């Protein structure tokens, strides 16, 4: 099957664009027929993905998690197949699936991998592959997206540190499969996969194969204690802290006591209140064997 390489040349501060020639050489070395289409934005990427599926091609998202989520959403509940080449700053969905983070090495998965049906998340009508979150994460994502001097996955840690100084606790109302909970503190997140923020293992048990979202609730603690908590997120050991709860659900509704934006796969997707749900076995993806 031929590949339609949907590329965001600007992803990862130009990482995808710089790696494109090498990726094409590697694909050719594997005997994979392919062509390149450059995307002008996420809506355009969705159009390109649907066109690839209609033509019997694998739609390969070569960029960041936002591009992967957009292409996955366009292929949802169809015979289309998604391929993933990491080219962004975070590349957290590739990390979750065990796809090499070097895009040339990841070409091996396109050549030798297997097609599997995976779950997606949906928030406010928008699909995502990784984690949808709001609260403290909203501010950290906003700062990271606006950063110009900090590059690579370090931008997410920079965003978190900057956000912490100005953060004041929010009170969230969360309805999990009909059960109401209230939490005052930092974050509510719904995880379809384990990682976000360039390798932070927010939801160590989350899987895009179980038909459920791992909902992470982070309640309030003093800022200095929260600062000490941040490094543990890279190991996933933050879940042992008493202010962190994880509950599995098929659907949740999230609202807050002040205006907040929900982000997913690194991009803003809507203002609270938002309904988030799991979409089981929604998209066919080439994964490592």
Domains of the chain and any CATH numbers? 3-112 (3.40.50.10330), 128-281 (2.60.200.40)
Residues 82, 71 contacting (CB under 8 angstroms):
yes
Q: Is the dihedral of CA 202, 75, 57, 22 positive or negative?
A: negative
**DSSP secondary-structure letter at 148?**
S
Q: How far apart are CA 191 and CA 227, in angstroms?
A: 22
Cβ burial, residue 288 (10 Å; 0-12/13-18/19+): middle
Q: Write down the pLDDT at residue 21.
A: 93
Count how many Cα atoms sit within 13 Å of the Cα of residue 132 in the half-sphere of its side chain.
31
Q: List alpha helices for 98-180, DSSP H.
A: 103-112, 136-146, 154-166
272 Cα distance to chain centroid: 19
Query: 18 Cβ partners below 8 Å, 6+ apart?
Result: none
Q: What are the pLDDT tens digits along the chain (289 aa)?
A: 799 999 988 776 788 889 999 999 999 999 999 999 999 889 999 999 999 999 999 999 999 999 999 999 999 999 999 999 999 888 999 999 999 999 999 999 999 999 999 999 999 889 999 999 999 988 888 888 787 666 656 777 788 888 888 899 999 999 999 999 999 999 999 999 999 988 899 999 999 999 999 999 999 999 999 988 888 999 999 999 999 999 999 999 999 999 999 999 988 999 999 999 999 999 999 999 9
Calculate the alpha carbon distances from 179 to 37, 85, 185, 254 in Å: 45, 39, 19, 12
Q: Write down the pLDDT at residue 79.
A: 95
Q: Write down the pLDDT at residue 147.
A: 75
Q: How far apart are CA 127 and CA 230, in angstroms?
A: 27
Q: How far apart are CA 285 and CA 259, in angstroms?
A: 35
Q: Which residue has the tokens 């974050």?
A: 187
């Amino acid at each position: 099957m031929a590949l339609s390489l949907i590329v965001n040349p600007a992803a990862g501060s130009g990482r995808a664009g710089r790696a494109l020639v090498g990726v094409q050489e590697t694909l050719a070395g594997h005997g994979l027929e392919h062509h390149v289409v450059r995307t002008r934005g996420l809506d355009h990427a969705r159009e390109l993905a649907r066109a690839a599926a209609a033509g019997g091609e694998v739609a390969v998202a070569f960029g960041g998690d936002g591009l992967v989520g957009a292409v996955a959403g366009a292929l949802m509940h169809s015979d289309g197949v998604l391929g993933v080449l990491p080219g962004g700053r975070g590349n957290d969905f590739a990390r979750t699936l065990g796809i090499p983070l070097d895009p040339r090495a990841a070409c091996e998965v396109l050549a030798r991998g297997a097609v599997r049906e995976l779950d997606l998340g949906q928030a406010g009508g928008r699909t995502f592959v990784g984690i949808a979150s709001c609260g403290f994460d909203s501010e950290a994502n906003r700062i990271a997206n606006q950063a110009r001097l900090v590059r690579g996955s370090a931008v997410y840690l920079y965003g978190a540190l900057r956000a912490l100084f100005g953060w004041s606790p929010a009170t969230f109302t969360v309805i999990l499969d009909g059960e109401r909970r209230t939490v005052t503190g930092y974050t509510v997140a719904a995880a379809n996969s384990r990682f976000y923020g360039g390798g932070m293992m927010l939801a160590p048990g989350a899987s895009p194969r179980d038909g459920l979202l791992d909902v992470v609730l982070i309640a309030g603690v003093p800022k200095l204690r929260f600062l000490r908590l941040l490094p543990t997120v890279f190991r996933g050991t933050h879940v042992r802290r008493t202010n962190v709860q994880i509950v599995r659900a098929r659907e949740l509704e999230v609202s807050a006591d002040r205006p907040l934006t929900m982000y997913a796969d690194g991009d803003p997707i809507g203002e609270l209140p938002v309904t988030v749900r799991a979409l089981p076995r929604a998209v066919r993806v080439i994964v490592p064997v």
